[in-house]
Amino acid sequence: MQGTGAPRKHRARIPFVFAAPVLLACVGTVQIVAGEVIPVSGGLGWDGRFYANVAADLPRAVSGGEIDVYHVRRIVPSAMVWFALHALGRPLDAEHARETFAWLNLAFQLLTLAAWTAAARRTGLDEGGLWLGFVLLFFNFANLKMPFYYAPLTDSAAQALGAALLYFHVARRPVGMVVVLVLGAFTWASFLVFGGLLFVYPLESTELRRAPRWWPPVLVSSAVIAFSALVLVHRADVARLGGSAVAAVVVAAYLGRVVGDLAGGDAVTPSVLLRRPALARWAVVMALAAAAVVAARALGAPTRFGTGYFLRHLAIYSLARPGLFLVAHAAYFGLVVAVIAVFWPQVVASVHRLGTGFTLFVLAHLVWGIHPESRQIVDGLPALALVATSAASTRCWPRATIPTAAVLALIASKVWLPINHGGFLGRSDPETYPAQYYFMNQGPWMASGPYLVQAAALVAACALLWVVRRRLPPAPTAEAAAPPIAVPSAVLGSRPCQ
């Protein structure tokens, strides 16, 4: 991602591997020490009350039947905080648990950075690509504000495990993937289901047959029909929350494009999906899933947060407003959404070159991404940032690209906008102020005004990026030499622009 033009005098630069973690650690420390804390429940928020109380007294919570099955599947971060409080000799109470969660979230961010950087280097990104990826991954509300403002959650842990799984996938380390999947099974509800795809279909260099003509239409039709059936089942709730035909058309068009482009490639054909090694690995994933379910039921009480609960919310909230899920993801994850939208053909190519498992992993997150609560796909953000960066690297960008992107990302993150205002104590309507200062970043509760403003900002960002992309020369790439499923050696990054 080097710029064009006359040669310049060489200047000493601080290596990314040193500067990026220092910058991330400094920003996180400032947020923990001087940043805002959610005023609800004394800094614990809503779900955070449970996680902090479990961390304050883990043995009692486990033995006393206070945890339901759903929360057992998210117990790892709370257990880590409990051990940390014991090791540091800190008081075992919710207040100190909240503070420890914040520091643990910063540690998870540094782990995310380390794993993502290692994966990005294996896929061929250069120093400029690493910096762009750093901006796309971390310069957003999800990472600059949320982990410290609302600390007692499992989001940062899920993101770190997603980055670790990504690294072990491109490094071809199946044992490491199994370890991460086990931890993820008790950190994030969907982690084993989505992450298992990377384990079942490892990165390999294989000649592939072309997909049959009937295959892409079958996949697209199946996705649209399945969503339509889900909406039909919950039609009363959808109508009650104002679901519209326009919103349904947007979702159908989105599913058609995403499923058709990603699952319609040669990497996701019946012959590939049903290979004997894949079936054997599916048995491993199913065994892990069965063990996780048995353990959760043994330790936890019955829960209302089952699969049906989340599918109902998927149907309801995806149709609340036209394209709400896209606006919500842009508000929460920042510029990476605009980059993926504008460079979509290049994103698809980058995804396919990382193989069947990676394609299915990204596809699963993008399909579930019709749910506007962006937090639910945070474990896939490292993978999305990787392919967005590699797609953007197909153009020769000027030297000012990274600082410009950083400034725009900071503006979009709204980290500069104070959230806490008088009256926001968790009892007010989320769609009214002052609560809306927080909930404008959470899709299901985004009010009409912030929705329209942030939708306009997303459209403007995409338009600007599209114009700039058309004016930039293409970067020389190794694309023509890449095998159908790439090996981990410079398969995504481009050669430096001269």
pLDDT digits (tens, 9 = 90+) for 370-429: 999 999 999 999 999 999 999 999 999 998 999 999 999 999 999 999 999 877 766 678
443: exposed, middle or buried (C-beta count within 10 Å: 0-12, 13-18, 19+)? Answer: buried
64 vs 67, 91, 188, 298, CA distance in Å?
Answer: 8, 21, 23, 12
Averaged pLDDT for residues 345-362: 95
**What pLDDT is attached to residue 489?**
41
Averaged pLDDT for residues 18-43: 96
In 10 A of CB 323, how many CB atoms? 20
Nearest to 376 by CA among 429, 295, 317: 317
Which pLDDT tens digit goes with each residue over 411-424? 999 999 999 987 77
State both tokens at 56: 């304050």
Q: Residue 283: how many CA atoms within 13 Å on its side-chain side? A: 5
User: Is 257 inside any structural domain?
Assistant: no
User: Is 83 inside any structural domain?
Assistant: yes
Q: How far apart are CA 355 and CA 262, in angstroms?
A: 11
**What pLDDT is attached to residue 486?**
43
User: Is 342 inside any structural domain?
Assistant: yes
Confidence of residue 251 (pLDDT cuts 50, 70, 90): very high
**What pLDDT is attached to residue 74?**
95
Q: How far is CA 70 from the centre of its chain?
A: 20
Range of lowest pLDDT (37-51, 89-103, 232-246, 481-495): 481-495
| Number of compact structural domains in the chain | 1
Q: How far apart are CA 163 and CA 172, in angstroms?
A: 14
Whether the Cβ atoms of residue 160 and residue 180 lie closer than 8 Å to each other: no
User: Is 49 inside any structural domain?
Assistant: yes
Phi–psi pair at 139, nearest 5 degrees: -85, 75
Q: Is the peptide bond before 434 cis (omega within 30 degrees of 0)?
A: yes
Confidence of residue 491 (pLDDT cuts 50, 70, 90): very low
Which pLDDT tens digit goes with each residue over 293-326? 999 999 888 888 888 999 999 999 999 999 999 9
Q: For residues 32, 33, 39 and 44, what is the CA-based torsion angle, rounded to 10 degrees?
A: 50
State both tokens at 170: 């491109």
Whether the Cβ atoms of residue 391 and residue 343 lie closer than 8 Å to each other: yes
Q: How far apart are CA 8 and CA 248, in angstroms?
A: 53
Q: Does position 5 have pLDDT exceeding 60, yes or no?
A: no
Give the angle subtended at the CA of 226 by the CAs of 336 and 254, to the nearest 5°: 30
**What pLDDT is attached to residue 1?**
59
**What pLDDT is attached to residue 426?**
63
Q: How far apart are CA 435 and CA 448, in angstroms?
A: 14
**What pLDDT is attached to residue 21?**
98
User: What residue numbers bound the domain in which 158 lies?
Assistant: 35-204+268-302+323-481
